[in-house]
A and B are shown apart, each in its own frame.
Chain A
Amino acid sequence: MRRWVYWVLVLVLAAGLAAVPALAQQKVITFGFPVDYTRVYVFVAEEWTQGMVDYLTLMNLKGGVGGYTFDWRVVDTGNEPQRGIEAYERFRREGATIFNFISTPVSNAVAPRAMEDGVILLMPFHGRSDAADGQTFPWLFSLGANYWSQATVIVQHILEAEGGNLRGKRIGLVHIDSPFGREPIPVLEELSRRLGFEFQSFAFPSPGTEQSATWAQVRRFRPDWVLLWSAGPSQSVGVREAIRNGFPLDRLVSVIWLDEKDMNIVGAAQARGVKRFEAAVPGREHPVVQEILQKVYQEAGKGFGKIENVGSTYYVVGIASVAPVVEAVRIAVERFGEPVTVDKIRAALEMVSNFDLNGLMPPITITPQDHEGGGMGRISQWDGSRWVPVTDWMSAFRDVVWEMVYKSSAQFRQGQ
């Protein structure tokens, strides 16, 4: 018994230690996906990673891009910065040049290293919102609407729904009490000054599985609209509380983190009407998703995860977060020629223009100044079985967003 335990320990640890970094092959671009599979980002990590890897697999099956194929390393970080750093350092030495951590704390902890090391760090829908500032953060790429942009898009939708006038209206923000949850507050405050609506925020502490007191406060505020700003299990709790409190669900707009599973937990039918911000088109109708289903899953049998996940909300987010990089590799080969280096990819990323993957995602245009790519998104609504778009791709109040970005990045530079 005793010996058995020792041997298992020795074996596993030795294997971990002996995992010698393999040298990167020729003409391969390696991604590092050290993601949080087991902690806070459990709700999204599996599908998101699956989307990213399946898209890369599809590219490989189609012969790669400009002669380059893709490789990837996936590992769990448990949302712990030190494990993220370890994975980053390890994968970087294994040749990975493009990272996506799907974890704000880990991304933020790695960011200073990535910028020193010259490694591309993707931060779509997590990490630093001010990564949009390409001047300050040349190596960080938001590649999608950051939370400030999401807030403006949602307010824009409310503005349109209310007929262009929000004066006298009340908008509440129910958010998890964390930096992420508090992020939209200054934007909403600024917009409330501009548009004349009354704004109040309601925080609930992490993990947010108990929100009755918060919603009692919300009810007292009698809001016309409520923005739901959390992620994971607390989201369905929030929707439920809204239902219980008799709040009309079509006036409940969530940040990007609300998906089909949340709706099922609430009760698919009961949740009818909930709105959310959307940054990619869910479902299996899109040709790219169809292609993945057919080539990756049916023909090659190389799907990275469960086939049921294909086309889910977070799955397509995954596709949308690597597709621009693949596009950048194509541009790099075209414009700068071989060999493609990380610097060239970075430069090429800043040339990605009006890229929307045949409509799977909003058109994105990245420039050396703007690493967010325009901050576009749309609002969709749960019809009881699926998400139906209620607006077109749009962006709004860019000046407010950029003001926030510059303020925040200035703060960062101060500390440098």
Chain B
Amino acid sequence: MTFLAELAINGALVGLMYALVASGIVLVYKSSGVVNLAQGGFVMAGAYLVWAYIARLGLGLIPGILAAAASMGALGWLTERLALRRMIGQPVIMILMLTFGLEVVLRGAVPGALGADTKPMPIPISQAPVWLGDILINRTYILGGAVAVVMVALLAVFFRTRAGIAMRAVSDDHLAAWAVGIPVERTVALSWAVSGAVAAVTGVLWGAVQGVDWSLSLLLIKALSVAVLGGLDSLSGVVLAGLIVGVFESVISGYVDPFVGGGTREVVAAVVIFLTVLIRPYGLFGREVIERV
């Protein structure tokens, strides 16, 4: 039982961290209907920047993270400004491919400039375990899960602000938003900037878990799964989806692995996605017929 609980709790926390990556995707999707395949690259770049600001420039931890978040926000804004805005009206698959191209650029530019070898994320989290009775919980995950919840909550609050409401309006209907005087382009750019900043924070957490190198960009796949499962345009959906994916992966692989003698983790996630799509085609909380293919 404790085994199950431990798997479930750790899984849930990891799932929340997935959800944090996915929230960056959702944010952009909500405002512009674009799925950003470069979100993994953003996370990696964010982590690299945090590392560089702290280890190379000697900034403190918090200033380093803030500076990185600001830089990533600028990068997100520039991405929208220079690339995505020119693709308005193109088929979804083209825009997907464009963001994929960005991902490739980031994966080359960032490690190429800052060094490809794995770097430690200089945040002081003790490796000592947190014991909850017999249950062991990873401190980084606790922090990660907490940050994820806070960030998603902040984002939810953000959507109640003026800019946030504008963003929701834009997500509903570009033209109508335009008609009532909402600066659609600026709003979309803002969502990219926020998503960039979120990626920086995500990068810190995941960098602390696995070290900083190019493989952070691989988080994209997991984040994409979570986002789709959640329904792509729902923040609460993303949180729930993250929890589901995290818990299922953890629990099922915990019980099944010994029998099949292999890591079933990814397959479990894949099966979850596959079944969801078959049963609930638009994710858990997604609006129906929102795809624009």
Binding site for B on A (CB under 8 A): 37-39, 42-43, 46, 176-177, 182, 185, 200-207, 209-210, 212-214, 216-217, 219-220, 232-234, 236-237, 240-241, 243-246, 261-262, 264-267, 270
Chain A to chain B contacts (Cβ below 8 Å), 28 pairs:
A38-B111, A39-B214, A43-B118, A43-B213, A177-B262, A209-B210, A209-B215, A209-B218, A210-B265, A212-B141, A213-B251, A216-B7, A216-B10, A217-B254, A220-B3, A233-B211, A233-B215, A237-B209, A237-B210, A241-B138, A243-B129, A244-B138, A245-B129, A245-B136, A261-B118, A262-B118, A265-B120, A265-B211
**B103 near A: Cβ within 8 Å?**
no
Contacts of B120 in A (CB 8 A): 264-265, 267
Give, as a whole number of angstroms, the nearest-CB distance from B250 to chain A.
Answer: 4
Q: Which of A182, A200, A207 has the most CB of B within 10 A?
A: A207
Query: Is there contact, CB below 8 Å, between A244 and B263?
Result: no
CA distance A212 to B9 in the complex (A): 10
Give, as a whole number of angstroms, the nearest-CB distance from A260 to chain B.
Answer: 11
Query: Is there contact, CB below 8 Å, between A232 and B129?
Result: no
Contacts of B14 in A (CB 8 A): 210, 212
Residue of A nearest to B119 (CB): A265
Contacts of B267 in A (CB 8 A): 205
Query: Is there contact, CB below 8 Å, between B257 and A202?
Result: yes
**B185 near A: Cβ within 8 Å?**
no
Query: Is there contact, CB below 8 Å, between A233 and B210?
Result: yes
Contacts of A262 in B (CB 8 A): 118
Query: Is there contact, CB below 8 Å, between A205 and B214?
Result: no
What 9 A-B pairs have minimum CB-CB distances, sorted nearest first?
Answer: A177-B263, A209-B210, A205-B263, A203-B263, A213-B250, A265-B120, A212-B10, A265-B211, A244-B129
**B116 near A: Cβ within 8 Å?**
yes
Contacts of A270 in B (CB 8 A): 127
**B173 near A: Cβ within 8 Å?**
no
With A39-B214, A232-B213 already in contact, 14 other A-B pairs whose C-beta atoms are closer than 8 Å: A38-B108, A43-B118, A46-B116, A176-B263, A205-B267, A207-B218, A212-B250, A213-B265, A219-B136, A232-B118, A233-B213, A237-B209, A237-B210, A244-B139
Residue of A nearest to B124 (CB): A267
Give, as a whole number of angstroms, the nearest-CB distance from B211 to chain A.
Answer: 4
CA distance A252 to B210 in the complex (A): 19
A-B pair count, CB < 8 Å, reads: 123
Query: Is there contact, CB below 8 Å, between A210 and B111?
Result: no
**B57 near A: Cβ within 8 Å?**
no
**Interface 1/0 per residue, B21-41 and A, CB below 8 Å:** 000000000000000000000
Contacts of B253 in A (CB 8 A): 213-214
Query: Is there contact, CB below 8 Å, between B127 and A243?
Result: yes
Q: Which of B116, B139, B267 has the most CB of A within 10 A?
A: B116
Query: Is there contact, CB below 8 Å, between B127 and A266?
Result: yes
CA distance A217 to B266 in the complex (A): 17
Contacts of A46 in B (CB 8 A): 116-117
Give, as a whole number of angstroms, the nearest-CB distance from B37 to chain A.
Answer: 18
**B11 near A: Cβ within 8 Å?**
yes
**B6 near A: Cβ within 8 Å?**
yes
Q: A203-B257, A220-B3, A236-B210 are in contact. Are A42 and B116 (CB under 8 A)?
A: yes
Q: A38-B108, A244-B127, A270-B127 are in contact. Are A213 and B261 (CB under 8 A)?
A: no
Task: Count chain B residues whose beta carbon lies closer than 8 angstroms to a beta carbon of A.
Answer: 43
Contacts of A212 in B (CB 8 A): 10-11, 14, 138, 141, 250
Q: Which of A46, A210, A240 has the most CB of B within 10 A?
A: A210
Give, as a whole number of angstroms, the nearest-CB distance from B236 to chain A.
Answer: 23
Query: Is there contact, CB below 8 Å, between B118 and A233?
Result: yes
CA distance A216 to B9 in the complex (A): 11
Contacts of A236 in B (CB 8 A): 118, 210-211
CA distance A266 to B249 in the complex (A): 25
Contacts of B139 in A (CB 8 A): 244
Contacts of B7 in A (CB 8 A): 213, 216
Give, as a whole number of angstroms, the nearest-CB distance from B136 to chain A.
Answer: 6
**Interface 1/0 per residue, B131-144 and A, CB below 8 Å:** 00000101101000
CA distance A220 to B136 in the complex (A): 12
Query: Is there contact, CB below 8 Å, between B136 and A244?
Result: yes
Contacts of A241 in B (CB 8 A): 138
Contacts of A42 in B (CB 8 A): 111, 116-118, 213-214
Q: A42-B214, A177-B263, A262-B118 are in contact. Are A213 and B136 (CB under 8 A)?
A: no
**B258 near A: Cβ within 8 Å?**
yes
**Interface 1/0 per residue, B81-119 and A, CB below 8 Å:** 000000000000000000000000001100100001111
**B128 near A: Cβ within 8 Å?**
yes
Contacts of B251 in A (CB 8 A): 213
